[in-house]
Amino acid sequence: MTYVRSTFRHPALPKNDLGYTVDYYEGSLSTLCAGCGHDSINAAIVEACWQMSIEPHRVAKLSGIGCSSKSPAYFLSNSHGFNTVHGRMPSVATGANLANRDLIYFGVSGDGDTASIGMGQFVHVVRRNLNMVYLVMNNGCYGLTKGQDSATADVGSKNKSGQVNLFEAIDLASLAMELGATFVAQSFSGDKEQLVPILKAAMHHKGFALLNVISPCVTFNNNAGSTKSYDYVREHVEATATMDFVPMMREITTSYEAGSVNDLLMHDGTTIRLHKLAKDWDPLDRFSAMNAMYRARSKGEILTGLLYIDRQSSDLHNTLNTADKPLNKLIQADLCPGSSALDKLNASLR
């Protein structure tokens, strides 16, 4: 294994609309175990941001603690980053977002970081509909501390030492739906084709976007009997739909058979094109999406794809009616509108 990244780039590498090649979106060389699902997700994030021509300095990466939470070091070196305390990423993201609404907030967490120590913070960031992407790299164990079962390990699943998990799993996607999440998707680290358009759609969603991505831990939870191993997940994934993400400027030209395609227009003019596979499921209907998720779970299947989206989502800034500008752009005149405005306000309170 080499720890030095080559700086050679093929001169014919394609460039995005900003003139950058994909390496501009990479991060440091990964120190995760070879084959770790988290690295595949990092590669999908790099690809999605490159394809969308995002200016890296417009992204703020946030995470907690864990192998998953180390991931932001491995993508978007040219972005802002904040590695918080274990389970505390949501409160830091909330503060940063309220101070500067102009950035894209990209949170990365693990199932331990989110579903155990961070649960209290997670539920509140969902119900507040903070405008951010919250990606859980879900491997059903605490990888960084050597593979203890996490709260998302399925009941009956076996860990590497052969111990059977006795407790019910917390299903983060269902929980988020229950709490009123406005964008919920699931995927598998080994399915880049599905993950990249989901990431793009999540970054364009105005509000909280949960991505629960099954990401096997090859070192501590990839054994027979685990329900988060590569083999188990490959055999039990069921996709709701294949999807494309169509940016605003691009004309939608392809046409598909009526009934099999669903174009979802997003708040910013972009489009999610769904090629429906699952029957009896409507991603715009919370009850239908929840039913589909429960049905899949009862069969031991992992439903992937965009599960639910609320296109009328109103984020925390709208709810709180905050200023349109980031706080550091407010000038004296914005902050102090003068004595006549103050007199008027006082009069209204008398």
Ligand X SMILES: Cc1ncc(C[n+]2csc(CCOP(=O)(O)OP(=O)(O)O)c2C)c(N)n1
68 lies in the site for ligand X, by CB under 6 A: yes
Total number of residues that touch ligand SF4 (CB under 6 A): 12
Which of residues 139, 174, 186, 187 is near ligand SF4 by CB under 6 A? 139
Question: Taking CB under 6 A as the rule, which mask of x and - marks residues 79-118 in contact with ligand SF4?
Answer: ----------------------------------------
Distance CA 273, CA 278 (A): 15
Which of residues 172, 217, 272, 309 is near ligand SF4 by CB under 6 A? 217
The distance of closest approach from Cβ of residue 148 to ligand X in the complex, given in angstroms and rounded to an integer, is 8
Which of residues 39, 113, 191, 310 is near ligand X by CB under 6 A? 113
Judged by CB, which is closer to ligand X: 140, or 197? 140
Give me the torsion for CA of 98, 200, 206, 248, rounded to 10°.
Answer: 120
Q: Indicate the burial class of 139 (C-beta count within 10 angstroms; 0-12, 13-18, 19 or more).
A: buried
* Cα-Cα end-to-end distance for the chain: 73
Distance CA 76, CA 20 (A): 12
* DSSP three-state, residue 280: coil
The distance of closest approach from Cβ of residue 113 to ligand X in the complex, given in angstroms and rounded to an integer, is 3
Distance CA 28, CA 37 (A): 17
Q: Sheet of 132-138: strands edge to edge?
A: 80-83, 59-63, 104-110, 132-138, 208-214, 183-188, 302-309, 237-239
Strand 183-188 relative to strand 59-63, pairing: unpaired
The distance of closest approach from Cβ of residue 185 to ligand SF4 in the complex, given in angstroms and rounded to an integer, is 21
The distance of closest approach from Cβ of residue 63 to ligand SF4 in the complex, given in angstroms and rounded to an integer, is 13
67 lies in the site for ligand X, by CB under 6 A: yes
Judged by CB, which is closer to ligand SF4: 213, or 239? 213
107 lies in the site for ligand X, by CB under 6 A: no
The distance of closest approach from Cβ of residue 108 to ligand X in the complex, given in angstroms and rounded to an integer, is 9
272 lies in the site for ligand SF4, by CB under 6 A: no
Distance CA 272, CA 241 (A): 11
Report the residue closest to ligand SF4, judged by CB.
Answer: 143
Distance CA 168, CA 171 (A): 9
Q: What residues make contact with ligand X under the rule CB under 6 A?
A: 65-68, 86, 110-113, 117, 137, 139, 141-145, 150, 217
